[in-house]
């Protein structure tokens, strides 16, 4: 439910605290909290100052002052807080010009929706992400100049089938065998149900939950599709609720794309469709997989710009541990109906309203505002320039003979490669001033300095196994 300012002020009277949230450039929620009695209309109209130099990807120390203006439509009562707390998301503004801050990811999403309307192609873009994650029982990790390790554990993990020292019931989940087993093999039924109920209490319509393919607690909860910015808001809420409810059960949730070696990683397949009025313009009953020419060109844009897109949709070093053949990860730059080995899939449906395009490369480490906006901008570029994606591949792309496999391009294999691709292919993102060159430069610089360089410089335990004895 979208509230007005007056309705939110009334909600605040029933709360003890108001939690004010916004998003940094990499895509994590940030917050501070005020007593509910302090909330008044000026928080929505005039804003509240904060230090932008302490937020990743924002301001330098000599220009640190920034402003938050609350968005009443995002308000909800926090279902996991012990003290009654009203949560409200904000947009970031420049305190001098009073203009929206171009590096605010939420503002990027709002501009993407505005640009879509300006093109005249459609009025509304609907997005439906499938964000997977793991729920573990224990995690330890450390990284310093003289040692490095990580250790994770789950009662479901196949490696615990021979564990002694405590009662062991067996029935652990083997690698790649986690899809849809019932309890007691699925140990997380109650946890997932609690997460779903908490999300619905916070105003997020939910459709399904289930165990995912990997061993050791891989999970997916299905949210009902929504408009771009609203869906990105919901993804951050989804992650927040999943982590907090898991902790209440004495467990820990991670949206890291590839925490387990030798098993499936966590993706965030993103479904999208474009609507003009009450018509889904992706549907055409006589087209391939029921797709319209517009949808085919939309796919063409995604495939053409996929290497650059991945810098925003699969944006971590760890993302490329997932994007490898053999683990249901989409590495082939092709499209197909039903075929999960293609990077773009058209789910089978007889409903014209449900006709959509599924981009399978993204993962939940991405900033959803930037991820969804980039996908839309690539698709729109495909429509505007009538980019033909070529013929579909309706066969298993992982099992092609070498002569055919050579014809199918694959995604780049590292974060560094996709950042280089974004650096050379970003004009489609700048249309309508949706993304700015300043934002992209800051984003690329952050990723190289904070994520690529540390992993490039550090030896790993696997390297000791391979090279210590040479």
Position 117 in a domain: no
22, 143: one domain = no
244, 299: one domain = yes
pTM of the model: 0.95
Position 405 in a domain: yes
97, 135: one domain = no
84, 145: one domain = no
Containing 419, the helix (H) or strand (E) segment is helix 415-424
Q: Which positions are catalytic?
A: 51, 130, 132, 212, 220, 269, 340, 358, 360
For the residues 1-26, what does the mean pLDDT come to? Answer: 94
User: Do strands 218-223 and 279-280 pair parallel, antiparallel, or not at all (unpaired)?
Assistant: unpaired
Residue 406 has pLDDT above 80, yes or no: no
Model confidence pLDDT, tens digit, residues 264-273? 999 999 999 9
CA-nearest of 175, 385, 203 to 262 is 175
156, 242: one domain = yes
Model confidence pLDDT, tens digit, residues 424-446? 999 999 999 999 999 999 999 99
Our count of domains for the chain comes to 2
3-state secondary structure of 168: coil
Please report how many Cα atoms fall inside a 13 Å half-sphere around the Cα of residue 278, on the Cβ side: 0
Residue 396 has pLDDT above 80, yes or no: no
CA-nearest of 229, 227, 5 to 104 is 229
For the residues 349-368, what does the mean pLDDT come to? Answer: 94
For the residues 335-354, what does the mean pLDDT come to? Answer: 86
What DSSP string describes 2-31?
PPPHHHHHHHHTT-SEEEEEEE-TTS-EEE
Q: Percent of the chain, pLDDT > 90?
A: 82
Residue 402 belongs to domain with CATH number? 3.30.590.10
Residue 164 has pLDDT above 90, yes or no: no
For the residues 112-136, what does the mean pLDDT come to? Answer: 98
CA-nearest of 310, 309, 302, 373 to 107 is 373
Provide the residue range defining the domain that includes 160: 124-467
400, two tokens:
């092609």
| Exposed / middle / buried, residue 179 (Cβ in 10 Å: 0-12, 13-18, 19+) | middle
CA-nearest of 112, 87, 130, 136 to 238 is 130
For the residues 301-313, what does the mean pLDDT come to? Answer: 98
pLDDT band at 68; cut points 50, 70, 90: very high
340, 419: one domain = yes
What does the pLDDT read at residue 349? 85
For the residues 102-128, what does the mean pLDDT come to? Answer: 98
Per the listing, tokens 């005039």 go with: 46
260, 348: one domain = yes
Residue 150 has pLDDT above 70, yes or no: yes
313, 387: one domain = yes
CA–CA dist 256, 214 (Å, integer): 14
pLDDT band at 177; cut points 50, 70, 90: confident
61, two tokens:
């120390």
343-354 as b/e, with b when 16 or more CB fall inside 10 Å? bbbbeeeeeeeb
Q: Mean pLDDT across the chain, nearest whole number?
A: 93
Containing 404, the helix (H) or strand (E) segment is helix 402-405
Please report how many Cα atoms fall inside a 13 Å half-sphere around the Cα of residue 325, on the Cβ side: 12
């Amino acid at each position: 439910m979208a509230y007005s300012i007056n309705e939110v002020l009334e909600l605040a009277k029933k709360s003890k605290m108001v939690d004010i949230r916004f998003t940094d450039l990499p895509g994590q929620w940030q917050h501070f909290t005020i007593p509910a009695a302090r909330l008044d209309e000026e928080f929505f109209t005039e804003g509240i100052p904060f230090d932008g130099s302490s937020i990743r990807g924002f301001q330098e120390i000599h220009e640190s002052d920034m402003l938050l203006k609350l968005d009443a439509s995002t308000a909800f009562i926090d279902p996991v807080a012990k003290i009654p707390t009203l949560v409200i998301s904000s947009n970031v503004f420049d305190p001098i010009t009073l203009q929206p801050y171009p590096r605010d990811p939420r503002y990027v999403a709002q501009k993407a929706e505005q640009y879509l309307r300006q093109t005249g192609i459609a009025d509304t873009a609907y997005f439906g992400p499938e964000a997977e994650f793991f729920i573990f029982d224990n995690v330890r990790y450390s990284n310093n100049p003289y040692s490095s390790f990580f250790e994770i554990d789950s009662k479901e993990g196949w490696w615990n089938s021979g564990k002694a020292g405590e009662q062991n019931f067996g029935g652990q989940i083997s690698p790649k065998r986690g899809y849809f087993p019932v309890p007691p093999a699925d140990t997380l039924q109650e946890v997932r149900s609690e997460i779903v109920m908490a999300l619905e209490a916070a105003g997020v319509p939910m459709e399904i939950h289930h165990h995912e393919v990997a061993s050791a607690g891989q999970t997916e909860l299905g949210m009902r599709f929504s408009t771009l910015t609203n869906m990105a808001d919901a993804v951050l809420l989804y992650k927040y609720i999943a982590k907090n409810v898991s902790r209440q059960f004495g467990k820990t949730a991670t949206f890291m794309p590839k925490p387990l070696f030798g098993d499936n990683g966590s993706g965030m397949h993103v479904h999208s469709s474009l609507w003009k009025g009450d018509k889904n313009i992706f549907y055409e009953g006589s087209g391939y997989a029921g797709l319209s020419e517009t949808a085919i060109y939309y796919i063409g844009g995604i495939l053409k710009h996929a290497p650059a897109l991945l810098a925003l949709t699969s944006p971590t070093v760890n993302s490329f541990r997932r994007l490898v053949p053999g683990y249901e990860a989409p590495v082939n730059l092709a499209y197909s109906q039903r075929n999960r080995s293609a990077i773009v899939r058209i789910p089978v449906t007889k409903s014209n309203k449900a006709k959509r395009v599924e981009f399978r490369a993204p993962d939940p480490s991405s900033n959803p505002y930037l991820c969804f906006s980039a996908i839309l901008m690539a698709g729109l570029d495909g429509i505007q320039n009538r980019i033909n994606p070529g013929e579909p591949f309706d066969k298993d792309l992982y099992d092609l003979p070498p002569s055919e496999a050579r014809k199918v391009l694959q995604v780049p294999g590292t974060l560094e490669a996709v950042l280089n691709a974004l650096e050379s292919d970003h004009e489609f993102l700048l249309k309508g001033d949706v993304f700015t060159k300043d934002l992209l430069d800051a984003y690329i610089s952050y990723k190289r300095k904070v994520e690529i360089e540390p992993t490039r410089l550090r030896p790993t335990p696997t390297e000791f196994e391979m090279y210590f004895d040479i």
